[in-house]
Amino acid sequence: MGGTFPATILGRIQSQLSVQTVNSTPGQDFMGPIESHARGEPSPSVQFASLEGRPASAWPETGPWTRLPAAPIERLPMSRGLSAAMLRGLSAAVPFVLAVLVCLAFFLAGAARAEDVGLPVTPSQPHGWAPYSGDFGVDEAAHLLRRTVIGPRFAEVREAESAGLAVTIDRLFTRHEVEEPGDWVNEPFPDWWALTQAQRDSVQRVMNARQKVLRLWWCENIATGPPDLTETMTLFWHDHFATAMRDVQIPQSMYIQQALFRKHALGNFRAILNAIIRDPAMLIWLDGRWNIASDPNENFARELFELFTMGEGTGYTQEDISEAARALTGWMTDGVDTWFASWAHDDGEKTILGETGRFGAAEVVEILLRQPETSELLAGKLYRWFLSSEPAPEDVAALAAQLRDADYEIAPVLRTLLSSAAFFDPAYRGSLVKSGVEIYAGALRSFEVDNFDPGVYDLQARFVLAEMTDFGQILFDPPDVSGWPGHLQWLNTQTLPKRKFYLDALINGRFERAPLAMGIKVLDVVNQFRDPNDPEQIVDDLALLWFGQAPTELIRQTMLETLLQGAEPYDWSIELPDARKRLEDLFRFVVRVPEGQLK
Amino acid sequence: MKRRHFLQLGGFALAGGLVRTPWLPTVARAVNGESAERGPILVVLVMQGGNDGLNTVVPYRDSVYYYHRPNLAVPRADVLPLTDDSGLHPALAPLTEFWDSGDLAVLRGVGYPNMNLSHFRSTDIVWSASGADRSVPSGWLARWLEGRYVGFPETLPAEPMALQQGFAAALPLQGELGVTGVVVDNPASFQALVGRTFTGEFEDLLGVDPGDELLRRVREIDAASFAYASAVSSAAETGANRVSYPHGHIGDQLATIARLVDGDLGTPVYLASLGSFDTHAAQPSAHRNLLASFANAVNAFFRDLKAMGRADDVVLLTVSEFGRRVHENASAGTDHGTAAPWFAIGRPVLGGVYGSAPDLETLDPAGNLLVEMDYREVYASFLRTWFGTPRDEVDRVLLGDYGELPIVTSHPSNPSDPEDPGDPEDPDDPGDPGDPEYPGDPGGPSEPLPPHITRVGIQSVSPNPGGRNRTVVFDLPAPAEVRLELFDARGRRLRTFLDASLPAGRHQQASDLGRLAEGLYFLRLVAGGETRTKTVVVR
């Protein structure tokens, strides 16, 4: 195909690339969120700017984690627990909460979920869950890591290939620990009513700064962590029990929830549910703390049924919701600790899904776990997350049955899925859309971006936080309680060019015309390839790493021509003086190709 | 599904990504002749999370409301009265000028049968124009746009068919054949962004198609951003806001839309959103602030359009997935409910309150309001009248036959309705009145100019309701060319009572409506560039 390719067209593609290269250099227009503040108003797409009520171009220094102001809080009077009225007062007293409420509309997509919109829904034929017995070559290793690790490196793909499927799966199921973002995560939340206005302002400033720290801390963990399922499954639970910091506000609460997801990342769904019904962030987010016997608040009960366990339209009634809300009454939180207040609990008899008793929260969890719909919802979600957006109902049912048999242990079910013949069916290569995190944090990891230290480099912090916003995936801030819609909804005419723009900036190592102090290390990436001195091998391995499958012949030829720039293949060497520049041109082209959006 | 062929757009796709082609939309527009005429525009503003209808349009004379809302009720003294039984939340004060000028329609009790109380499901239903019992994977506006642009998706119109601001939900613009619009946050820089990152049409150059549906869709999005970038950005550069907007997300969105309208982007549908209406707790301050943001932004938007001279081309409709429970909860909030009022705003809107007041004593078993008006009737009214869409096409788009409400007039650019032969039983109804009559005496100033006349207005129509003979009293603050016309519910002009130059003052006009079927009609006064509308009920 390459021989028949019209030279003129290739030449034009090349010239376009070089034009774009020039455009990408400093001094050219930056069309990102910062420019949109030319009018002095915050961009709707920059949530953090709105959080603070000022333009993003005037962001405060984030500073390293360790230098965060913590002192004012420690000297403040503490309260063991805030009453409901106090916490209500908190929301009313902090004006910026309202600004946040208004500004988050952008993220409250709220409408359709991936399974409702997008491609015509044609569930694939049932394939069963027979284990994979074919070759575990570099293609299979790449597929497995691209679906389980956010941003796998090519060296890791080669290690997986040589270790074999069974060992690689075992490694993936090893959970890694991370350091806390700071001692403040255990700090009690102050008694708001005992504070002066100046103290409240100070607490608010500290909270704002710590919220950013938390988002970047997770991003850094993803970008630098070992290649296992910990970060992916933590994100899975964050998406499933979607809780937004813009409402919860208290960064300690969000960290406590995150720690819960990390601890149970590959654990038991029953344990996660029992923890989530007394999770401070969740009790704040879904108003569980307002849910008292004399006047129940249904919000938590409804989402518990609709989104966390059974799923919408699976036969429960409004009456079931109201009764479950009564059973869930009495759990109180101060944002850090949770306690059960018997005075607020409705101890009477309730009837939920046909069962009657003087139920509390734990019994509600057991009743929900007994419903087959709960296992099917979870199995279906794992299927869509790891394998395909169009599962066959029979396959989900079989996975759900295994989940019930395993008493809701996640790891055995996930192991079945990831080592199945179906998972390695070539038809599933490139059948999912990469999430926002897989672009912004995944590229940092895949492409050997070192020196990512947003605690030290303010520009890096602003850059990554801005792109989280632009891609529609701000960590700790899902659009609503149903999580991120996902799949094709990651992409639209706005987010797709923004993704390419981000990757372009990483290749150039510049953002807002200023050096980022980090960038894609093309030589380090290519030196992991099977033969960095063979242009064809570079092209194929880069395609495998970023596209996950062989590109069309046209794209492959363009990649090759971009790398060689008129020279013969045998003239290429990774030691050439301009090798890095040529490789950067190659990467610049590759990250613009639509194939790179899929995994 | 058929594939798009960008090559059909004058071969630009071949050059796509190779050279920038800012000329293309202009050329395409000139060919289509679209630049000559400005069509009707609909802005749909979604209040996400379920807006509390009872605290938006307040039944301030209903003691049952105050019984159910001991902590949340809007005090009677604070309500801005519209009618004897309903008034606006005080934070909506910036909307009262639209009410006074007859440009605000309050649609009460909007919903659908067996309303679903899940945000997500109910939002899907409202965007897809389906019912509680049916899941439809495409949006109603997208289905309508697909029908309007013959050739889609093989060829794309020169300008985006719809433009979504401020939220990323895919369903609203998801058609049966493809995605019918674009999501653009910053139109002014959109072209620069796309120009820097678009690489080319790799499948079409050599006809390589891997047969991968998902990849094809990603390429479509890629190509659409390129295809529309120049049109969107040049409209943003050409257009300019004439007023300043309130600080905030919704103000930014409406400012952007107005700027694109001013830049003559030929896009008929814009989507905007305001979130956080899910007020389960601490509702009073949160809801007040949301309503104030909304009302201030909308006020600025229409002042801007007026200053641009485009106020006759744009109407705004608010939607929300459901209202909220009648009885407040213990957390000073409200749980998910059912029917709620929607607003239609704009000069072409026929102001008034539609639908009956909420019946707070007849609730469903969960304590929710009964639905008064199917939301698809609201959609049908805009498609049928405002956009002049044929009835069978409206039925196709809305997946059924829904009646219309007389809430908006027809846009002047719409072709006269070929389906309307006039009322065969009414000799006075000639159908589309090509040659209007000028009955009656234009009259003169019947009283000296009272000092309080500062604005154009219809003071009264009497009797109303009534029969064929009415007396219309209207005010002119300055001498003006005046037209006084009668429209039917579909926005067709039936009579012209007056077309003359009149001095300032209070005027009285005897008007013979002719023999009309019972129902709602609209009297429109156009004077000195201002338009006022009054509802006329014929019994």
| Same domain, residue pair A116 and A24 | yes
Interface of B with A in 181-240 (CB under 8 A): 182-186, 188-190, 192-200, 202-203, 205-206, 208, 210, 212-215, 217-219, 221-222, 224-225, 228
Q: What is the pLDDT of residue B466?
A: 79
| Same domain, residue pair A559 and A580 | yes
Share of chain A above pLDDT 90, in %: 69
* φ/ψ bin of A389: left (φ > 0), alpha (ψ from -120 to 50), beta (otherwise): alpha
| Same domain, residue pair A460 and A503 | yes
User: Which is more confident, A67 or A153?
Assistant: A153
A583 found inside a domain: yes
Q: Which domain holds residue A383?
A: 138-175+373-428
User: Which is more confident, A55 or A306?
Assistant: A306
A334 found inside a domain: yes
Residue of B nearest to A593 (CA): B199
HEC readout, B375-409? HHHHHHHHHHHHCCCCHHHHHHHHCCCCCCCCCEC
| Same domain, residue pair A363 and A220 | yes
B336 DSSP β-pair partners: B324
Closest CA to B323 of B338, B333, B341: B338
B45 DSSP β-pair partners: B272, B318
B521 DSSP β-pair partners: B536
Q: Chain A contacts of B170, Cβ < 8 Å?
A: 111-112, 117-118, 485, 488-489, 492
What are the residue ranges spanned by the domains of chain B? Answer: 7-398, 445-538
HEC readout, A261-324? HHHCCCCEHHHHHHHHCCCHHHHHHCCHHHCECCECCCHHHHHHHHHHCCCCCCCCCHHHHHHH
A242 found inside a domain: yes
CA distances from A427 to A599, B1, B264 (A): 12, 20, 46
Q: Do domains B7-398 and B445-538 have the same CATH topology?
A: no
Q: What's the whole-model pTM score?
A: 0.72
CA A387 to chain B, closest CA, distance in angstroms equals: 14
Q: Is the dihedral of CA A322, A324, A329, A332 positive or negative?
A: negative
| Same domain, residue pair A329 and A183 | yes
Closest CA to A143 of A119, A121, A165, A128: A165
Share of chain A above pLDDT 70, in %: 79
Tokens of A188: 């009690």
Which uninterrupted H or E stretch holds B202? Answer: helix B202-205
Cis geometry, peptide bond prior to residue B25 (ω within 30 degrees of 0): no
A133 found inside a domain: no
| Same domain, residue pair A345 and A412 | no
CA B21 to chain A, closest CA, distance in angstroms equals: 13
Tokens of B537: 């009920």
Q: What is the pLDDT of residue B455?
A: 78
A341 found inside a domain: yes
Q: Chain B contacts of A502, Cβ < 8 Å?
A: none
Q: What is the pLDDT of residue B201?
A: 60
CB-CB contact of B92 with B107 (8 Å):
no
Is the CB of B170 less than 8 angstroms away from the CB of A118?
yes
3-state SS, residue B314: strand
Q: What is the pLDDT of residue B453?
A: 74
What whole-number distance in Å separates Cα of residue A297 and Cα of residue A279? 17
Phi, psi of A598, deg, nearest 5: -110, 160
A591 found inside a domain: yes
Closest CA to B396 of B135, B153, B132, B143: B143
What whole-number distance in Å separates Cα of residue A536 and Cα of residue A529? 11
Residue A420 DSSP symbol:
B
Tokens of A68: 């965060």
What whole-number distance in Å separates Cα of residue A39 and Cα of residue B236? 14
Closest CA to A97 of A254, A252, A299, A249: A249
* φ/ψ bin of A27: left (φ > 0), alpha (ψ from -120 to 50), beta (otherwise): left
Does the beta carbon of A309 lie under 8 angstroms from any beta carbon of chain B?
Answer: no
A412 found inside a domain: yes
Tokens of B370: 């009964």
The Cβ of residue B435 has, within 10 Å, a number of other Cβ atoms equal to 6
Which uninterrupted H or E stretch holds B203? Answer: helix B202-205
| Same domain, residue pair A147 and A162 | yes
| Same domain, residue pair A260 and A290 | yes
The sheet that has B80-81: what strands, in order across it? Answer: B57-58, B87-88, B80-81
Residues 6+ apart with CB under 8 A from B439: B495, B497, B511, B512
Does the beta carbon of B277 lie under 8 angstroms from any beta carbon of chain A?
Answer: no
Residue A598 DSSP symbol:
B
Which uninterrupted H or E stretch holds A338? Answer: strand A338-340
CA distances from A106 to A379, A462, A494 (A): 30, 19, 13
A440 found inside a domain: no
How confident is the model over B35-64, as pLDDT tens digits?
Answer: 446 899 999 999 999 999 999 999 999 999
Does the beta carbon of B381 lie under 8 angstroms from any beta carbon of chain A?
Answer: no
Residues 6+ apart with CB under 8 A from A370: none
Indicate which of B241, B249, B293 best probes the interface with A, i.e. most A CBs within 10 Å of its own CB.
Answer: B249
CB-CB contact of B162 with B269 (8 Å):
yes
CA diameter of chain B: 80
Range of weakest confidence among A13-17, A54-58, B248-252, B484-488: A54-58
| Same domain, residue pair A103 and A193 | no
| Same domain, residue pair A159 and A219 | no
**How many residues are listed for chain B in this entry?**
539
Is the CB of B331 less than 8 angstroms away from the CB of A84?
yes
Task: Report the number of distinct structural domains present in chain A.
Answer: 4
**What pairing do the DSSP bridges indicate for beta strands A514-515 and A510-511?**
antiparallel
| Same domain, residue pair A416 and A454 | no
Residues 6+ apart with CB under 8 A from A201: none
Q: What fold characterizes domain B7-398?
A: Alkaline Phosphatase, subunit A (3.40.720)
CA A377 to chain B, closest CA, distance in angstroms equals: 16
3-state SS, residue A345: coil
How confident is the model over A275-311, as pLDDT tens digits?
Answer: 999 999 999 999 999 899 988 899 999 999 999 999 9
Averaged pLDDT, A555-570: 90
CA distances from B523 to B189, B320, B417 (A): 44, 30, 20
B505 DSSP β-pair partners: B476
Tokens of B497: 């009572």
CA B111, distance to chain mean position in Å, is 17
CB-CB contact of B293 with B275 (8 Å):
no
Q: What is the pLDDT of residue A303?
A: 95
HEC readout, B251-268? HHHHHHHHHHHHCCCCCC
In CATH, which superfamily holds the domain spanning B445-538? Answer: Macroglobulin (MG2) domain (2.60.40.1930)
Q: What is the DSSP string of A15-41?
A: HHHHHHHHHHSTTS---STTGGGTTSS
Q: What is the pLDDT of residue A123?
A: 56
Is the CB of A501 less than 8 angstroms away from the CB of B197?
yes
CB-CB contact of B160 with B231 (8 Å):
yes
Indicate which of B69, B254, B329 best probes the interface with A, i.e. most A CBs within 10 Å of its own CB.
Answer: B329
What whole-number distance in Å separates Cα of residue A70 and Cα of residue A382? 40
Residue A356 DSSP symbol:
E
Is the CB of B118 less than 8 angstroms away from the CB of A298?
no
What whole-number distance in Å separates Cα of residue B325 and Cα of residue B210? 52
Cis geometry, peptide bond prior to residue A33 (ω within 30 degrees of 0): no
Q: What is the pLDDT of residue A532?
A: 97
Residue of A nearest to B224 (CA): A493
Closest CA to B321 of B187, B121, B494, B161: B121
Q: Which of A295, A553, A597 is nearest residue B330 as measured by Cβ atoms? A: A295
| Same domain, residue pair A115 and A152 | no
CB-CB contact of B102 with B351 (8 Å):
yes
Low-confidence ranges of chain B (pLDDT < 70): 1-37, 200-211, 416-452, 489-491
Phi, psi of B231, deg, nearest 5: -60, -45
